[in-house]
Amino acid sequence: MFCSKKKSLEVERIVKANDREYNEKFQYADNRIHTSKYNILTFLPINLFEQFQRVANAYFLFLLILQLIPEISSLTWFTTIVPLVLVITMTAVKDATDDYFRHKSDNQVNNRLSEVLIDSKLQNEKWMNVKVGDVIKLENNQFVAADLLLLSSSEPHGLCYIETAELDGETNLKVRHALSVTSELGADFSRLAKFDGPDTKLMQNSGKTKFKRTSIDKLLNTLVIWIFGFLVCLGIILAIGNSIWENQVGDQFRTFLFWNEGEKNSVFSGFLTFWSYIIILNTVVPISLYVSMEVIRLGHSYFINWDRKMYYSGKSTPAEARTTTLNEELGQIEYVFSDKTGTLTQNIMTFKKCSINGKIYGEVPEDMGQKTDIPKKNEPMDFSVNLQADRTFQFFDHHLMESVKLGDSKVYEFLRLLALCHTVMSEENSAGQLIYQVQSPDEGALVTAARNFGFIFKSRTPDTITVEELGTLVTYQLLAFLDFNNIRKRMSVIVRNPEGQIKLYSKGADTILFEKLHPSNEDLLTLTTDHLSEFAGEGLRTLAIAYRDLDDNYFKEWHKMLEDANTLKDERDERIAGLYEEIERDLMLLGATAVEDKLQEGVTETIASLSLANIKIWVLTGDKQETAINIGYACNMLTDDMNDVFIVAGNTAVEVREELRKAKENLFGQNRSSSNGHVVFEKQQLELDSVVEETITGDYGLIINGHSLAHALESDVKNDLLELACMCKTVVCCRVTPLQKAQVVELVRNYRNAVTLAIGDGANDVSMIKSAHIGVGISGQEGLQAVLASDYSFAQFRYLQRLLLVHGRWSYFRMCKFLGYFFYKNFAFTLVHFWFGFFCGFSAQTVYDQWFITLFNIVYTSLPVLAMGIFDQDVSDQNSMDYPQLYKPGQLNLLFNKRQFFICIAHGIYTSLALFFIPYGAFYNAAGEDGQHIADYQSFAVTMATSLVIVVSVQIALDTSYWTVINHVFIWGSIATYFSILFMMHSNGIFGIFPNQFPFVGNVRHSLTQKCIWLVILLTTVASVVPVVIVRFLKMDLCPTLSDQIRQRQKAQKKARPLRSRRPQTRRSSSRRSGYAFAHQEGYGELITSGKNMRAKNPPLTSGLEKTLYNSTSWIENFCKKTTDTVSCFSQDKAVKL
């Protein structure tokens, strides 16, 4: 893609190094990163377009146009335009604020500085101004914001080590090689910008920013359409009534009103009346509904931002709601899609335990078979005597150090193996401290453990490895390096010690290495196997450790065959693998290691709690299958108690389809008794029948590889994949690409009709985060890309539990109560006009005065419903966490759906009947205490308005579950405000100022001093409220919900709540999973023995980043000289094709 506007696929890219003028003619994209939605010019049109996608906003705009027509308008235009402009303005300000922060985050990345070669000298340039073809100088630990081509490096042979934590969360170092023709340009890191801005891999995988709306928003759109249809029906009924009335009764008024015959046609009168009533009855969906919803959502967002229990003090990172429109959706999540590295794990490997010669060392729990008396077991060992020890390393078993001091030969050999058999590179920092550069964090943990116990890996060359053994420098001759790969699942080194002995040291997966042991190891093998099972039961990554003494003559013969095999052109790899197998036999077992792939704090408890809330968690990771499975067991997502764990690893579509079919047969076969044989294996639609899922008893897991997933996502197979996956308790997708992550989310989102949440920490999670209904970014050390694309962010995975079970559930609960009450009160308020139409000649006369109609939703009833929508809660936050089952009503959409909507409407219709006909019947032919007639229009209106305000206030008091000072002030204060405004509008003073707007002077004072009026108001209130109280009492008493039960228990146990029982630690003994080098990549052994990653011997001892680096001037001169003398491909008449 040459630029962001071009859609054609780019096959090749022509670039000239350091030639901006030439490269600009191809119109490559600039390097500016855009994650924002608007700019100054596009904000207004795009935002208005998005807002008027809401049916309600378009509906109110239509009503505003109608109110501007004098012939049909019964209400003044300001009753609609003021709230419409208010809600659109508030939403626009909120959207602008959200996008401002996106611009701010983009600017932080775009304005970072880089050193670019311009006019033969290095100049500081912002990353957003870097162009394709620019030559850039990079230094250690410097941020990179473009796709680059390595030209040269300070490392030998043009190597550099990069960390891609910001892309994929991995802190492992990856090796990159410079171009051979440019590798000797200079010692500074120098790179050629190849892809910029939207063309980079990061931005290409980010996906498009979608306009997200909650399921409640979508439901409201449907309900607004239904309500509009309902209004049309009411308008037609009243219009027909008006035509009939005009035809039969209206004729009698024509002479009195001096109308000419035929001047007013009854049909035309009905037509005008129809539109008049559409305007009058529009308040069943007032615009204040949307204003209130935005305010409530904003309040919920601030609660998330202010929640101290989601504040991570380790990095001073609070939780952040980056959007304010999706809060209630957090209470309806059914599927969580999670990344692994950096999200579930810290990507920190810790050496926890080991088994040496049949004895366990480490934090051995007292309930294990082999008990050890651990002195000071709660205190870590003191390694201060070892000046070169890693101060961050902790080990709690002092027996291992005692064995070292006693000179245990097996312990020595064990630690020596850890210090020799690895691919770690060492260097010293500016303070002279030993630093390890590790390609795999597993190896880093093992080498660091050996270092702290006195066997310190110091340095290496292509032919030697130097280790400081208990203070003595020992140099071993490296004779051969038998590298790791996915098939071997082990690595070995062959070394010659100073005494001339040749030894093979090997470490690897226990299932593989145990097959290579000498028969004399049978007893030790049995004991070590038990230890490995115990380690694996605790979720630790295990490794077997073994060695072999080699005869000098045998090794020479073997090495000669290896050299010959390396020269072969055909079957070279197979021949080398056979030689490795030959020498890696008859090994002597030393023991095993147990490394903890450290989970983030609270991950296991969070996953267990979310599972109880019926939330299914799928892990989508780019890691290998073994790693993903190990983490699955460590998190208790996978357990040995599961009925079965299906593994799909087919390489073709046919194989994948067959594996899915067999898994489904196995799953249904084990549950055939409970399903009575009525199981349908093939469905015509992807919408799965939930009844089939309910027939499945037991727990199942599914693990699928990325290459298999690519076939499974094809149209003819994805039905089988989705059906099987949704019946499994746990799904793990490993070796998946960012695009596949998004495809899996889209599959479940579209065909399961379920609310999804995606959580990740790296740039490779961005497309998944954008595809899900809710995107959550982990703000940690892995960069900001996931956070920038997310809807919510926090620092630790464990906060997801509180975000969903507390904030999400409360937001959904509050929004549903708010909507139910809002529709109720507005139907009760509005339908009085409908009943009044039958008694006013269908003349479109309003019952209430226009000021009451204008102020009812804005002043009289707005604050109480806002207080309930913002602060209400059925149970406390702790009970929400303790009882995850409370979350299920949101998933089933029980609290506000079409059925609940009709119940609210029926309640509102009943209340409107009571509000109109009780005062009407009481006033019919009635006289006041002074003997005068009281059934005048304004007294009737005041009585109904007062009854309405009191009824809806009492009703919200009954609906409020959690009382605060604010609720009291808003509810009772609204009633007081109503009376204050009512008396003011009917006072002499306001009449003197505005006689035309407030003509009914003194009416309120006259009406509300009548005892019969108050009796009517009391009767109306009782008739409206008592049936609701009775129904709710019977419902709570006869069939209480879980929320009702917990609320009663909460009230009864306010004094002291019993301590929550902690879930006992489960121990698995039947599944042993070797965790060897899961992050390890093949090829490092060859890299080490070739010496390409070694510096020259006896380098000058300089410090920091200036080690062996040339100065900038010489680097530039070398580049310029090389450009003219050697690299002819960079000349003016020939371009490089990348």
pLDDT at 1105 over 50: no
Which has more pLDDT, 1082 or 981? 981
Q: Nearest 5°: phi and psi at 737?
A: -85, 165
Task: Give the per-residue pLDDT at 193.
Answer: 54
Contact 792, 779 (CB under 8 A): no
For residue 49, pLDDT over 90 is answered with: no
H-only helix segments in 514-624: 522-537, 552-566, 572-583, 603-612
Q: Residue 1060 above 60 pLDDT?
A: no
Over residues 751-776, mean pLDDT: 89
Q: What share of the chain is helix, strand, coil (3-state, %, to 5)?
A: 50, 15, 35
Which residues, at least 6 apart from 834, have a Cβ–Cβ distance to it below 8 Å?
234, 238, 281, 912
Which pair of structure tokens corresponds to residue 317?
């990172």
Partner residues linked to 942 by β-bridges:
none
The residue among 806 and 683 whose pLDDT is bigger is 806
The rounded distance, in Å, linking the Cα atoms of 469 and 448 is: 14
Contact in structure between 856 and 288 (CB atoms under 8 Å): no
In this structure, are residues 1118 and 185 in contact, taking their beta carbons and an 8 Å threshold?
yes
| Other C-beta atoms lying within 10 Å of the C-beta of residue 9 | 6
Q: Look at residues 200, 198, 191 and name the one whose alpha carbon lies nearest to residue 149.
A: 191
Residue 129 has pLDDT above 70, yes or no: yes
Q: For the residues 650-661, what does the mean pLDDT come to?
A: 89
| Ordered DSSP codes for 1112-1130 | HHHHHHHHHHHHHHT-GGG
Q: Which of 905, 351, 798, 371 is nearest to 592 (CA)?
A: 351
First to last CA, the chain: 14
Is the per-residue pLDDT at 978 higher than 90?
Answer: yes
CA max distance for the chain: 132
pLDDT band, residue 454 (cuts 50/70/90)? very high
Q: Concatenate the DSSP letters of all residues of 1068-1132 into one string.
A: --S---B-TTTT--TTHHHHHHHTTTPPPSS-----GGGTTPPPHHHHHHHHHHHHHHT-GGGST
Least confidently predicted of 35-39, 77-81, 1069-1073: 1069-1073
Q: In what order do the strands lie in the sheet with 616-620?
A: 320-321, 792-794, 774-778, 756-760, 335-338, 616-620, 730-734, 700-705, 644-648
Q: Which amino acid, 479?
A: L
Q: Is 373 exposed, middle or buried (0-12, 13-18, 19+ CB in 10 A)?
A: exposed
Share of the chain above pLDDT 70, in %: 81
Name which of 236, 238, 86 is nearest 835 in CA terms: 238
Q: Looking at the annotation, which residues are catalytic? A: 339
Q: Given this model, what pLDDT does residue 206 score?
A: 52
- Write down the pLDDT at residue 1100: 41
What is the phi/psi pair of residue 209, to 5°? -75, 120
Residue 671's pLDDT is: 53
User: Where is average pLDDT lowest: 91-95, 592-596, 674-678?
Assistant: 674-678
CA–CA dist 254, 264 (Å, integer):
9
The three-class DSSP label of residue 41 is coil
Both tokens of residue 958? Answer: 């009954």
Higher pLDDT, 498 or 255: 498
Copy the structure tokens of residue 272.
């005008």
Distance of CA 1000 to the CA centre of its chain: 59
Q: How far apart are CA 520 and CA 60, in angstroms?
A: 87
Q: Let me know the angle formed at the C-alpha of 959 by 957 and 962, rounded to the nearest 5 degrees.
A: 80
Q: Which segment of 47-51, 124-128, 257-261, 466-470 scores lowest on mean pLDDT?
A: 257-261
Alpha-carbon 430 to chain mean position: 40
- Indicate the helix (H) or strand (E) that contains 428: strand 425-428
pLDDT one-digit tens code per residue, 904-930: 999 999 999 999 999 999 888 776 666
DSSP state of 1061: P
Burial of 278 (0-12, 13-18, 19+ CB in 10 A): buried
Q: What is the pLDDT of residue 80?
A: 66
Angstrom distance (rounded) from CA 1046 to CA 447: 53
Answer whether residue 676 shows pLDDT above 50.
Answer: no
* pLDDT confidence tier of residue 21, bands split at 50, 70 and 90: confident
Q: Rg of the chain over CA atoms, in angstroms? A: 38
Q: Taking a C-beta distance cutoff of 8 angstroms, is the pair 190, 1115 a contact?
A: yes
pLDDT at 440 over 70: yes
pLDDT tens sequence across 250-282: 666 655 555 555 556 788 888 888 988 988 888
The CA distance from 318 to 802, in Å, is 13
Contact in structure between 194 and 15 (CB atoms under 8 Å): yes
Contact 114, 127 (CB under 8 A): yes
Q: Is the pLDDT of residue 520 over 80?
A: yes
The per-residue pLDDT for range 794-819, each reduced to its tens digit, is 999 999 999 999 999 999 999 999 99
State how far the Cα of 489 lies from the Cα of 480, in Å rounded to an integer. 17
